[in-house]
Chains A and B, each alone.
Chain A
Amino acid sequence: MSNILQEIGINNYIYLSVLLFCVGVLGILFRRSAIVMLMSVELMLASANMLLAVFSVYHQDASGQVFVVFSMAVAAAEVAVGLAILVAIFRNIGSIDIEKLKNLKG
């Protein structure tokens, strides 16, 4: 493991993570489909998880990786809830385009 880290270099991991995060943010900002936005959120979460794992190896401390496992479990549960909400919205409105979800307008 440490070999791979040394061969690729920690910088590249951080660049990849930032890139993934930015993709997630841009996805959220510019896509109109709620399901794609949900995927973008997952992407941001995954980039954060990856950073955690990388630094855990870098510091020779396993607790970061343990934390990632927890975080993924919670994310799985959260996705289940998020998808259920989307299904419910689709059944009610017949669309998951967020432009049409404006009932809470003040």
Chain B
Amino acid sequence: METVFVLLLLICPFTGFLINLLAGKKMGRTLPGIIATTAVSASFAISLFYFIQILSTNAPVEVRLFDWVTFGEFSIGFDLVLDQLSLLWLLVVTGIGALIHVYSTGYMKDDENVDRFFSYLNLFIFFMILLVTAGNLGIMFIGWEGVGLCSYLLIGFWYKNQSYNDAAKKAFIMNRIGDLGFLVGLFILAYLLGTVDFRAMSFELSDIYGIDKKLLGVAALCLFVGAMGKSAQIPLYTWLPDAMAGPTPVSALIHAATMVTAGIFMVTRMSFLFDLIPDVQTFIAIVGAVTALFAASIGIAQTDIKKVLAYSTVSQLGLMFMALGFGAYHVAVFHVITHAFFKACLFLGSGSVIHAMGGEQDMRRMGGLKKVMGVTFVTFLISTLSISGIPPFAGFFSKDEIMLAAFEHNKILWAIAALASLLTAFYMFRVLFLTFYKDFRGTAEQKHHLHESPKSMTMPLIVLAILATVGGLISLPFGFNWLNGYLQPVILNLQGVEHHSLDSTGWILMGVSTAIALIGFGLAYSKYISKSAVPQEDDKIGGFAKVLYNKYYIDEIYNTVFIKPIYAMADFFKNVVEKIVAASVLAFGKGIAILSVYTKALHNGSVGFYLFVFVIGFCSVVFCLLLI
């Protein structure tokens, strides 16, 4: 019975994928969206059922479908596990997934390939469910690769634009670098522990006597490299801003709410491993904090509304990794959830704006949209307040817990994260003011076209805005903290749970966080409302702002350091090595031709001559045999 239900959870989106893939073209433009949305909603219903069940029973559901890989002692089963952690992620993936499917039915209404779009979205949901319900690293890797594939397909969805295709390839290749790390980590763990099953690995590692600890550290580091690629951390983050080439619902679902948090999910799943190696944990915390600040600083100079949100996502993911590095897994999970709410809402809001602007994404051409797009404005405002960390919105509580964990472990990283938060508040309000306040700066034609989005698009926005407001309730700093208790069974050594009756430090930090958010708001207000500043056109930007606008020239640096040498190498092989090989092959052929000048006289085409030689030859063979 359980097997059937768990299978249904997976099969629903996959069926939606198949139907839309095979028969989508014949169904018009409305039906594919309805089928896809129904499929995801069914998965959401099943997830909700199991979630309610686990709340009362506290027992995870485990299903083994079949033995996948077996050789000798080592085996990988096709195991699916619905425990506290995976159910939480399932709710986020299928819940927000369903909302974004509804939104897409409005957003993609006029696209000629709407069936292909929905089939990819369903395939993504399928792989994401596989990733989070995996009972071992092997199955997780299938999902891990699958979501990468769907990300590639959806970034390059409008494949007629070459720069979009390039962005898709960039995302795929960057992820591939990370995936190599994941795979190496998996192999090392399989070698060391003889299993890749999460529970079995956890059991093996409960006593690490006789296990090579250095190699274990390498394995943890490799897994983190995988997480770096998938969750866009320095130095593998450059694909995420480019991934904004995809349709906006894709950016909301894959590149903000779900797929990019897969790295955090994996590290949380493997917490028993990372807990053993403090060096790697420190490394994760540093990478996370630096990424948070770095991406936030790029975010303040971008003018493309989706690019700002993309860098904001990178920055927030950095904060989550910092929390992971401090061993505060539950805090990272909390921030993943609230981030999914407000960032999905922000992306969908920006999609609504882009929809109204007829495809324009540059904030310098926007402004004054508040009057026309009431619902979009209010939901965008709520999410901005939430991400900036202004109480009592959801983002405040999760970010505050990260700050608290950082302050306890490392004051320098706390300062970096605080600065990143300041920048976050600044650039988010900058987006808000530039887009919705003051006067409209676009063309008259665009102004005429402005309109509020249809119900199918505003409804998900409203739901997400409500969640972004009240999402913090699941883990309040004072007294009621449901999330920590809920996650207790799946995360060993859950830190900082006991002292959650806030002391004075906690209250002061909370005040500081709020003050930082308000300062960010104030700076943005004075610049973009009081002084009515508008970012300058591309060619007039100068000084450090130009460096920020050009993203620290990281893409150019990668281009020079990695891509150019590879092209040079390719040129070398093409112009030198290939010539040598070709010449030697040709020389061989020529040699044969020269040698054959005399022997080819035998091949004179005369049948009589052939028969004569044949008879002579046969006779001499018989003669020889007789002699012997």
Contacts and interface: CB of A to CB of B under 8 A. Distances in A.
Nearest to B602: A106
A98 B607 contact: yes
Contacts of B606: 98-99, 102
B612 A106 contact: no
Contacts of A102: 604-606
Contacts of A11: none
Contact of B600 (A34, A101, A106): A106
Contacts of A29: 608, 611-612, 615
Contacts of B607: 34, 98, 101
A25 B615 contact: yes
Given A25-B615, A28-B615, A106-B600, A99 B608 contact: yes
A96 to B, nearest CB: 11
A74 B600 CA distance: 35
A55 to B, nearest CB: 19
What secondary structure prevails in chain B residues at the interface with A? helix
B603 A105 contact: yes
A7 B90 CA distance: 104
Nearest to A106: B603
A101 B608 CA distance: 10
A104 interface: yes
- Counting contact residues on chain B (CB < 8 A from A), the size range is 10 to 19
A105 B615 contact: no
Contacts of B615: 25, 28-29
Nearest to A29: B612
Contacts of B612: 29
A16 to B, nearest CB: 20
Interface in B610-628: 611-612, 615
A51 to B, nearest CB: 16
Interface string A17-41: 0000000010011001010010000
Contacts of B604: 102, 105-106
A105 B605 contact: yes
A29 B618 CA distance: 13
A92 interface: no
Nearest to B606: A102
Contacts of B611: 28-29, 37
Nearest to B603: A106
A75 to B, nearest CB: 19
Interface of A: 25, 28-29, 32, 34, 37, 98-99, 101-106
- The 5 A-B pairs of least Cβ separation, nearest first, read A106-B603, A105-B605, A102-B605, A98-B607, A106-B600
